[in-house]
Amino acid sequence: MRRTLTLVFVLGGFALQAISYFFLAAPLGAQVNEAFSNPRVPFAALLFVLGVMAVFLAAVVYELLPERYGE
């Protein structure tokens, strides 16, 4: 349970970073028009930051959660 949740936080955090960076934020490439300036989804940058936080939060999950219920 603890290990699984830790892994979810680590992988989920990295996934959130990758998705927000490549697919939700403003497109990569030369800024030929304003579509390259604005994010495709609002608050994509915030999602990236939340991804960074989730990866570090995995350490708290790993250390605080019991291995199984009742431990």
Partner 1 sequence: MATRASVERLPYGIGRWSAGWVAVTGLSLAVLALGVFAFARQLIEGEVVTGLRNIGTMGGATWGLYVAFIVYFGGVSFAGITIAAMIRLLNLKHLRPISRMALVLAVISIILAALSVLIDLGQPFRALINLPLYGRPMSPFFGTFSVVISGYLFAGLVYLYLDGRRDAAICAERSEGVRQTFYRLWAAGYRGTPAERERHQRATFWLAIAILPLLVIATSTLGFVFGLQVGRPGWFGALQAPGFVILAGVSGVGHIIVLAAILRRVLGAEDQLNPHVFQWLGNLLMILTATYLYFWAAEWVTTSYAGHHHEVALSNALLTGEYAWLFWLSVGSLLVPFLLLARQFVTGQYRLGVMVVSGVLVNVAAIGKRILIVIPSQTHGTLLPYGTGSYSPTWVEYSVVLGLLALGALLLTLFMRVFPIVEIPQYAEGG
CA atoms within 13 A on the CB side of 48: 14
Q: Report, in Å, the least distance between residue 36 CB and partner 1.
A: 9
CA atoms within 13 A on the CB side of 66: 4
Q: Report, in Å, the least distance between residue 12 CB and partner 1.
A: 15
Q: In the complex, which residues of this chain contact partner 1 (CB under 8 A)?
A: 20-21, 25-26, 28, 37-39, 42-46, 48-49, 52-53, 55-57, 59-60, 62-64
Q: Report, in Å, the least distance between residue 30 CB and partner 1.
A: 13
* CA neighbor of 62 nearest in space, from 11, 7, 16: 7
